[in-house]
Amino acid sequence: MTSSSHGGALRLVDILFPHDTVYETLTSLWAPSLGAYTAPIGLRRRGRRLSILIYPGTRRLRTVAEEAVEACISLISTPEPLLARLLGRQLHHYKPEIVHPPCPAPATALVEATVSSRARRGDMLELTLEPLAARTLAPAGYTRVHGAAVELAVAYTRVLHWAAERRCKEAVTNLEDMERAYKIIERLDWGGTVKKLSRALIEQALRVLALAACPTEAHG
């Protein structure tokens, strides 16, 4: 289903984001002078618009968000691109129809949007997005591997955050969350690709913790 008209895009956004909650996406933000930057970002509906919050401690993401004028939001169909992005690997993309930033792939749906406003919320930055076009691609079934990999990825970004703050207790608690999520992935990802990427992310978290001099003897 493709909706290049504004009204059509809004109807599809209604279908894609039916509840008042946070939808986990891989989003490319684009600023004319900085180019595109892709990151895992949570998104909420705000009536006919969408809203994203940029947390304190994010570096390049915050810099680009401060000047971003366009976005392509991907509802990814498998967790591989999410994990690959956090491991600093190259992603595949779809060509956007209207905006500049490439849309992370593979996805079940894409929403192209402009940034209609920017507001400071304490030490967070809120961007409001106006959907311009939306399209659905190949649907994908829900798997616990996907859910667990999203939890593992969130816990990983929290390990980075707390390690940078030298808060070892909080950082190690999040490493433990990663390990719990990994147990589910290990049991259910019979293909093994998500398992491999998740293991690599745990190893990266252990390296970050070692550099921050956080004790991790019981882990790994």
Ligand X SMILES: Cc1cc2nc3c(=O)[nH]c(=O)nc-3n(C[C@H](O)[C@H](O)[C@H](O)COP(=O)(O)O)c2cc1C
Query: CB 54 → ligand X: shortest distance, Å?
Result: 4
* Residue 187 token pair: 């049991």
Binding to ligand X, residues 31-60 (CB under 6 A): 39-42, 52-55, 58-60
Residue placing its CB nearer to ligand X in the complex, 105 or 154: 154
* Residue 144 token pair: 């616990």
Query: CB 6 → ligand X: shortest distance, Å?
Result: 25
Site string for ligand X, 154-173 (x = CB under 6 A): x--x----------------
Q: Which of 3, 13, 17, 24 binds ligand X (CB under 6 A)?
A: 24
E strand residue ranges, 82-214 = 92-94, 103-105, 107-121, 124-136
Query: CB 115 → ligand X: shortest distance, Å?
Result: 15
Cβ neighbours of residue 47 closer than 8 Å, sequence gap 6 or more: none
Cα 203-204-205 angle, rounded to 5 deg: 90
Q: Does 145 bind ligand X (CB under 6 A)?
A: no
Cα 88-90-92 angle, rounded to 5 deg: 140
Residue placing its CB nearer to ligand X in the complex, 3 or 71: 71
Residue 73 in 3-state DSSP? strand
Interacting residues toward ligand X by CB under 6 A? 24, 39-42, 52-55, 58-61, 150, 153-154, 157
